[in-house]
Structure 1
Amino acid sequence: MTLAPPDTAVPAALARAFEDVDRLGVAFSGGVDSAVVLAAAVRTLGAARVVAVLGVSPSLPATERAAAHRVAAVVGAALVEVETHEGDNAAYRANGPDRCFHCKDELFTRIGEDVVTAHGLDAVAYGENADDARRPDRPGSRAATEHRVLRPLADAGLDKAAVRALARAWDLPCADKPAAPCLASRIPHHEEVTPEKLAQVEAAEAALRDLGLADLRVRHHGDIARLEVPAADLVRVASEPLRAQVNAAVRRAGFRWAVLDLAGMQSGAFTLEVLNRA
């Protein structure tokens, strides 16, 4: 659809998602999609009737956790954390293409058990947008359906561009933030997800961001860290002095080798690869 207008109004199609809601919980990550859902809910229902719910586990980087708190504070919504234990689930650890289903299923279960009653919520929403709804590599959507979680952005027909336009119009601090999938997405399917691997990826990515690489992925291939950066950064990363600094940072995180992927950034690469072979 066309970009949202550059004003502070909540689009009517989005506001309709909250018409029958008294108190709403928003499954919140601090990313642009869930932040726009949270901001729209606060603008429509009022801050006292909205709670942001952040799932915390080893798959959530500490930097993302802190950023989520900052965004919720700007929006004006209370934020509560729930510990999720997807790592206790053998199906999640097995890391098939449905891993995201097990992760979201755990999150929505925890919200239902720990937050809905405590905060008197009558509905929960999350940040699936219209582009996500059309993608085949989003098994978390099935978990949302099973738990009757609302998806206001997708239902309003708001795609990624429209969501970002709203975030900018509302001066959200995450408006231009790159997508930040959970750390488990860096591990190839059918290779076990472990806290040790997640910690390695988190350490490497944090060190690379300290070197000025804002948008990147460190894919975990055993001793090898496969680095994905935007095409515009490929030459810079491969050139001195950054090349040596990147290599040292990756090795400090516990990898033996750093490999630069010339394909650049690849959203959903592991899942799409498996689906395309099926």
Structure 2
Amino acid sequence: MPPMSVNDKVQSITEALKERGSALVAFSGGVDSSVLAALAYRALGKYAVAVTADSPTLAPGELECAKGVAKEIGIKHIIITYDELGEPEFARNPVDRCYYCKKGLVRELKKIAEERGINTIVEGTNLSDLKGHRPGRRAVTEEGVYNPFIEFGVAKEEIREIARELGLSVADKPSMACLSSRIPYGHAITHEALERVGKAEAYLQSLGFNVVRVRDHNGIARIEVMPAEMARFLGMREAVTSRLKRLGFSYVTLDLMGFRSGSMDEVLQGR
């Protein structure tokens, strides 16, 4: 059998969602969940709902982005409050912290689904995500969350292609992991640290560094930008250092390897 085209995959996902009768989409406003929400709305109309968790680990501006994309799509959008730090194991920050976050979040999503008579929760994990360290994947599998991108073999670049076809504004939006990924494993996650990191990244984004991470190593900021932007960054080092120290960082450093997704997972290699 020849491999499925992107259009075939879209059609298959749409039909699979339609067969479910109703769906609650775990919706962050990133490209993956936005495409899934758009397909769910196409398949189910008013029987599809997108739910966004407003939480301390959500980067500044992401909630407003999610609201805007939901409006673009036309899907009903519900915002709930969820504080992952209320999950003791998550706050302790073990290497599988995402498992505890996802467990707690799905618990809250199930409450919404039950209240509204929705029988399926769907989530946008895609084929490309399976390559990395993804303990949250185990949680959603245990909880029976449906991942159509996995079922039909949809990779990240295909999702971006679908987003462009659908005219979604987030088609080329950089991936944005939750702010807890800026804290080294084994170091407790606090509201103060998350706020500090979020404000630091928002500041750097305001300077034009769209792809940026500020990793918080006990008050030492390890900043990741794209290698091509390092020279420009260094030209701003005095202003950046001053601002980040005012936010509470003791030292401000630039990671010479540049931005790479999941750099905190590098310590797990060989485990």
TM category, shorter: over 0.9
Tell me the number of residue pairs that the alignment of Structure 1 and Structure 2 aligns. Answer: 269
Alpha-carbon distance between aligned partners in 2 of 1:2 and 1:64, rounded to the nearest angstrom: 33
Alpha-carbon distance between aligned partners in 2 of 1:143 and 1:60, rounded to the nearest angstrom: 19
1:271 paired residue among 240, 265, 270: 265
Q: Structure 1 residue 248: deviation in Å?
A: 2.2
Alpha-carbon distance between aligned partners in 2 of 1:2 and 1:192, rounded to the nearest angstrom: 44
TM-score w.r.t. structure 2 length?
0.94
Alpha-carbon distance between aligned partners in 2 of 1:211 and 1:103, rounded to the nearest angstrom: 31
Alpha-carbon distance between aligned partners in 1 of 2:219 and 2:250, rounded to the nearest angstrom: 5
**Structure 1 unmatched ranges of 5 or more:** none
Provide the secondary structure at the position in 2 that maps to 1:62. Answer: coil
Does the 8 Å CA contact 1:3/1:161 hold for their aligned counterparts? no
Aligned twin of 1:100: 98
Does the 8 Å CA contact 1:55/1:82 hold for their aligned counterparts? yes
1:211 corresponds to 2:207: yes
Change (3 A) 1:69 1:136: same
Alpha-carbon distance between aligned partners in 2 of 1:268 and 1:103, rounded to the nearest angstrom: 17
Alpha-carbon distance between aligned partners in 1 of 2:16 and 2:214, rounded to the nearest angstrom: 37
> Taking CA–CA contacts closer than 8 Å with sequence separation of 6 or more, which of the two structures ends up with the larger relative contact order?
1
Alpha-carbon distance between aligned partners in 1 of 2:79 and 2:60, rounded to the nearest angstrom: 13
Change (3 A) 1:183 1:3: farther
Deviation larger for 255-264 or 81-90 = 81-90
Change (3 A) 1:10 1:137: closer
Matches within 5 A, 1:181-220: 181-220=177-216
Aligned twin of 1:150: 146
Q: Structure 1 residue 136: deviation in Å?
A: 4.1
Q: Deviations over 1:21-54 (max 9, x none)?
A: 11110001000000010011111222x1111011
Q: Deviations over 1:183-217 (max 9, x none)?
A: 00000000000001001001101111111111100
Provide the secondary structure at the position in 2 that maps to 1:109. Answer: helix
RMSD: 1.7
1:76 corresponds to 2:74: yes
Aligned twin of 1:20: 19
Does the 8 Å CA contact 1:24/1:125 hold for their aligned counterparts? yes
1:248 paired residue among 242, 247, 250: 242
Alpha-carbon distance between aligned partners in 1 of 2:129 and 2:175, rounded to the nearest angstrom: 12
Does the 8 Å CA contact 1:10/1:40 hold for their aligned counterparts? no
Provide the secondary structure at the position in 1 that maps to 2:14. Answer: helix
**Structure 2 unmatched ranges of 5 or more:** none
Change (3 A) 1:233 1:74: same
- State the identity %: 36
Alpha-carbon distance between aligned partners in 2 of 1:122 and 1:2, rounded to the nearest angstrom: 28
Aligned AA (1:177): K
1:131 paired residue among 108, 128, 131: 128
Q: Structure 1 residue 3: deviation in Å?
A: 7.6
1:116 paired residue among 105, 113, 133: 113
Regions of 4+ moved over 4 Å: none
Alpha-carbon distance between aligned partners in 1 of 2:237 and 2:256, rounded to the nearest angstrom: 14
Provide the secondary structure at the position in 2 that maps to 1:219. Answer: strand
Q: Structure 1 residue 2: deviation in Å?
A: 8.4
Provide the secondary structure at the position in 2 that maps to 1:25. Answer: strand
Q: Structure 1 residue 17: deviation in Å?
A: 2.8
